[in-house]
Chain A
Amino acid sequence: MINRTTAPGLEAITDIRYVQPQVTKINDFSSLFWMNRVPDDTVRIELHFDAGSIRGKKSVAALVNAMLFSGTESKSHKQINEELDQLGAYLDHEVSLEKAFVSAYCLRSNAQEVIDKLAHALLHATFPQREIDDMVREKKQNLRVSREKVSILARQEFQKQLFAGNASYARFTEETDFDEISREDLLAFHEKQYKQGLKNIVVVANVEQKIIDQLLQNFGACALQQQTAYELNLQNQKGIFRVEKKGAIQTAIRIGLPVFNKKDANYTDFLFMQTILGDYFGSRLMSNIREDKGYTYGIGSALVELKTTGYFVIATEVASEVADATLKEVQYEMERLKTELVPEEELELVKNYLLGQMLKSADGPNAMMDLYLGVRQHQLDFSFYGEFMKQLAAMNAEKVRHAAQKYLNWDNFTIILAG
C-alpha cells in the first residue's frame, strides 16, 4: 500500500547551466546577441530600437511602429506582406514605453531571403498617405472598443498618476492625437528613432555566420550613435482616483508605487516579499481575495522594471459591490506582512517556487536569450542570477518583514478604481 498522505521527498534545485550568447559589438552603443544552440530549424530575429512611446510627439511612436511594413517606393503593403508570408515568415512588432521592437520568425531554409525582405521594408518605409488613413481608422476603432473596458481605463489612469510630472511617460494614446500627426512627423520619427536608433539585434537560430554578417550589413548602419537618455524622475500622485464607467458590473483596481529595478541592492528582498504578497497562485492576496472571499477571478502583483528605475503594482478586477472591501483586504494583507513574521513553511515554499521559476526561465535557447537580455539591459550579466539564488537561499522572515515595512506604506500608493 502506498502512502498517499505524506508528500514524496523533494530534491533541491541547485545550479542552472547558463548558456552565454555570442556578442558582436556593432559600436559602443549597439550589439548583436546570437544564441546558436538551437536543436531545430526555427529562426528568431529581433531588432530593438530606441523608438518607445516616450520618444517624439504624442502617439507618433505607436503609429510608426504599426506602419513599418506598410510600403516602400517599390513595394506596396500587400506585396511586402505577401512576400514574407510566401517565405512562411511571421512578423511581430510592438511599442512599449522605453523601446520598440520588430521580430521575424521563420525557418532556416528561408532566413536569408526573409532578412533581405525585412530590411528593405523596414529601412525604406515611406508611409504612404493612403496607408496612414487606413491605419488611423483602424486605431481609432480599436480605441473606441478599449475605452469600454474597465481594465484599460484603470491602466491609463494608473499610468497618468504613477508617472505624474513625467509627461512623456504619463501620456497614452487618444483618438484626437491622430488628427495632429502628419506624414512628415512619421518620416522624421522613423529616420531618427529607427534608421539611427538601433540598440540591439537578437538572433536565436542554428544558422551560419553568413546570416549574422547579412544582418550586420543590412542593419549595422542604423546603430545608435550616442548614449540614450531616460529622463525619469518617478514621483507618483498618491491617493485614490476613481474613473467612472456607467453600467460596469466589475471594477478594475490598480495599486502601485515607484520602487527600483535589478540594479538596486534591495531588489531580491523586495521581489521575494512581493511574491509572498501577490505574485504566485498561493499568495496572500490570492488566498484572501480570490480563494477565501471569492471577490475576483484573479489578483496579482508585479515588479515592473524600467531602464533607470521600476514600479510595483497590484492589479485585479472585482465585483463592483466589493471594490472598497477589496482595498481594505489588500491593506490588511500589507499590514500583516509588516507586523507578523512569515512562517518558515511559507518561506520555504516561496523559495522553491521561485527557484522552479528560474529553472523554467532558463529552459531552452529562447528562454535563455530572454534571461540574458533581462540582465544585459541593466549592464549586468548571468552572475546576477548566481547572486540572486544565493540571496534567495539566505532569505528569512525578518528580511521579508523589513522589506514590507520599508516599502508598503499605504499613504504612498497610487490607487485607481475604474468601474
Chain B
Amino acid sequence: MKKSSKRGRLKIYLGMSAGVGKTYAMLKDAQEDLENGTDIIAGYIEPHGREDTEGLIKPFEVIPSKEIIHEGITLKEFDLEASLRRDPHTILVDELAHTNTSGCIHNKRWLDIQALLDAGINVYSTLNIQHLESVSELVSSLSGITVHETVPDSVLREADSIEVIDIPPEELIERLKAGKIYKGDKVESALRNFFKEGSLLALREILLRKAAEKIDRDVIKFRESLAVKDSWATSDKMVLAVGPNQFAKKLIQKASRIAAARKSSVAVVYVQTPHLGMLSEQDQLLIEDALIAAQNLGFSIERRFGTDIVSEILKVAVALNASQVIVGKPIKNRIRDYLFNSLADDLVRRSGNIDVLLVTGDEEDATFRPIVPKDKRPRIFTTLYAFAIVALCTLLGTFLEPYVEIATISMIYILGAVLVARRSGRTESVAAAIASSLCLNFFFIDPKYSLTVHNPEYVITLLAMVSVSLSLSSLVARIRSQNQIVESREQRTLALYEAGRNLSEATTQKEILVAAQQAILKLGKLDCGLLVVQDKNLKPGVASKSLFEIESEEFAVAKIVMDKKVAAGMTTDILPGAGGLYLPIQTERELFGVCAVQSEIDHIEAEIVPTIELILQQTALCLERLALETHARESQVRIETESMRTLVLSSVSHDFRTPLTVIEGAAEQIGVATDPEQVQEFASLIGEHSKRLSRLVGNALSFAKLEQGTPKLNLEWESLEELIGQALEKYREDLTTRTVRTDYPENLPLVRVDAVLLDQLISNVIENSIIHAKSASILNISISFDAQNVIIDIADDGSGITHSDSPSRFKLDTDKHVGSGLGVSICKMIAKLHGGKFLLESNDYGGTTARIFLSIDNAAKNQNSYSRG
C-alpha cells in the first residue's frame, strides 16, 4: 500500500478504564489490516501480563523498546527515533496518556505520536477517558484518585477516528475479579479505589458523552465541509476570568465542558494587578500551569495589566464580542463581600448586556484573593525603621504637647505612618499604625501612662488615626508595588522598542543577531545566545554573554527546536529538564535559527517569554528581509551575467570566423602561388591572423574561467610600472609606429593584485588599441592615485571605440572590431575582481582612454619601509 505524503491518521481506542479491552480491540483491527497487506507494526504495547493480548502481538513486527535507566530502575520506553527510521504505514502505540521518563525526546507520549503523525505515519493508540485533561479533575473528585497523566482535549478532538470500547461495569468488575486485568493483591486495591461500581458508572457516562461530543463535532465539520452553514458556524464566544490560585485550573476545565456543550470558543483572561505582580513563586507557577492547560484545551489567552480587574475583564469581553463572562462564585467571606463588594457583584453590575456566569468555587473565594506583597528588604531593618519613626513621633509629640491639641499630635503619628509605608511593607505599616495608636493613648491621652480612655472623644480620635494610617499605608504600598510592575513592564516595552529600532537599522546577519541579543539581555537576569541555520545545521551566531556554553546535550535540544520548529526546553512540554529555554527564530516560511535563553536565577519567568518571542519574531522578519534582498541581488547578478554570456558567445562565434577565413584562404593561395613575394604576403597574413585567433582563444578561455565563479586570486605585491613595462615589451614590435609615453608618480605604491590577471587586463587594452586604432600615433600610459583608487589611464588617439559604456555597445563593437567584446568584458571582470572598475572614455586626442580603477585598499601604504638595505 502506498503511503501518502500527508499527515498520518490517528485512531484512538477509547475506554472508561483499564481492562475494558482497548488494546485487544486495537490488536484485532491491526491483525485484519496486516492480513490485508498493510505495513503495520507494533511500536509499543503495554503487556500487563495478559495472555490473550500477548498472543495477539506475535504476528507483528515489534520495535524494540528503548531501555532507560532511571534512578537504578530500568524502564522500557517507546523508541520514537527507531520508529521514525522504520517509517511504516501504520504503527500501534499503546497508552496515549503515558508520561515518558526524562531522557526521552518528549515528556509525553502523545507528543511522540504527534511526531509520528507529522512524519506521515498512521497511528493506532489507546486512551482511558479519565486521562483527558478536561475530565481529569472531575474524575479525581469522583474517585478520589488524582490523575497525573493527562492528554490535551485537542488530541482527541483532532483524532481522525475513535472507537469506543464499552462494556457494562458489572462485567468489568467480574473480569477484574477473575484476575483478567490485574494479578494478585492488586485486584483488591483496585476494587477498593477505582473500580467501585459508582465510579465506573460515572466514568462510563463521561466516556459516552465525550464520544457523542466528538461525533457531534465531526458531523458539524462534515456539514461545514459541505458548506452548509448553520447557526453554529459563527460560534459564540465566552470569556473566562482566572486568578492565580489552585481554583484556576478547575475553572478552566469547567469552562471547557460548558464551552463544549454550547459549541463556543473560550478566551481565558488573566488580569495582572499591582498586587499580583508580587505573587509568590508558587502562585506564579499555579497560574502559569493553568494557562498552559487552557492553551492545551485550545483556548486563547489574554494577559492584561491594570488595577481594575473588572474593567479589564469587560474590555476583553467587549473586544472579543463575547456573549458571556465566566467567573468563580464566591462562597465564604460574606462580610467582606458585603463591605467591599465581591468581584462577582461588581462584574454583574457593570457587565451591561453581557451574561455573567458564576460557577462553583472551592472552599474559599480565592480567585482574586489579594496577595500580601512579599517584602524583599530584610525584615529586621524595616521593622526597626518603623519603630524608630513611631518613637520619633512620640518624642516630637512630647515637645509639642504643651502647645498643641491631641488631634495635632495624632496628625504627627499619621505623618509617621506615611513615612513607614513609604519604605516598609504592609506588615510593618500595620504594626506601626497600631504602635502609634497605643503610644498616643499611653503618653498623651488622659489618664496618662495607662491604656484606658476616659473621654469618648479621644476614642474617636484614636479610631480615626488607626484607620487613616492603615488606609494610607496600604495606599502607599500599593502605589509602590504598582510602580514596580510598571517598571518591569516598561523594561519589556523598552526592550521591544529598542529591538525594533536596532533591528531596522541592522543590515547584516551579524548585526541583526547582535541587536536581538541585546534586546533580550535588556529584559534582565538573562543570558542569551543565538544559533543560526547554515547548510541545514546549527552554527553559533552570537555567543552568549559568558554564562553558558551550549554543550552537547543542550545543543541537542536546540536541534530539536530546529527540526520541529517549536520551542523546547525549560517551561515547555519538550525536554523540560533542559538547562535553558530554546525558541525558534522563524517566520511562516522559514526557520532561521534558534535562540537559547538561560536565566541567571534558576527559572525563567513565564511572563517575559512572550516578549522574547515578540523580539524573535521581529528578528526572523529582519532575517527574512535580508535573505530576500540577498536572493534578489543574486538573481540580478545571474541575469546580468547570463545576458552578458549570450552577448559574448554570439560575438565570439563571429570573431572566430574572420581569422579562420583568412588563414584558410591564404594557405590555399600559397599552394597555387608562383610569385615568391606573393607567398611571403600570404604567409604574413597567416601569421597575423593566427596571432589574432590565438588571442581570441586565450580570451575565450579566460572568460570561461572567470565566468565559472570567483577564481582564487593569487594576490601578491606587484609593481604596476613593472607589469605595464613587460606588457609594452611584449608588444614592442607592434608599437614601433607609435610614440609611447609613460607618466608615473614618484611615490607610486606597490599594489596587491593577481599579476597574471592584471597583465591580461593591461595587455588586452594595449592589444585592443593596436588592432582597432591602427591610425593612432601615440600611446600614453599614466598612473595616478587619490584617497580611494589607484587609476591607470591608457590613452590613444585613434578612432577606436564607439563612445558609450553600456553593455549593448558590445554588440556594436564586435561587429566593428574583432574580439573587443570579449576583451572588454574580461577587462571589466578582472577590474571587478580586484574591487575596482574598468571604463572606456573618449579623450582629448580624439581617441579612447581605458581607465582601470583599483581600490587603494590594495595598495601598500608605507612603501618606504621596504627601501632599506
Are both chains from one complex? no
Residues of chain B touching chain A, judged by Cβ–Cβ distance below 8 Å, are none
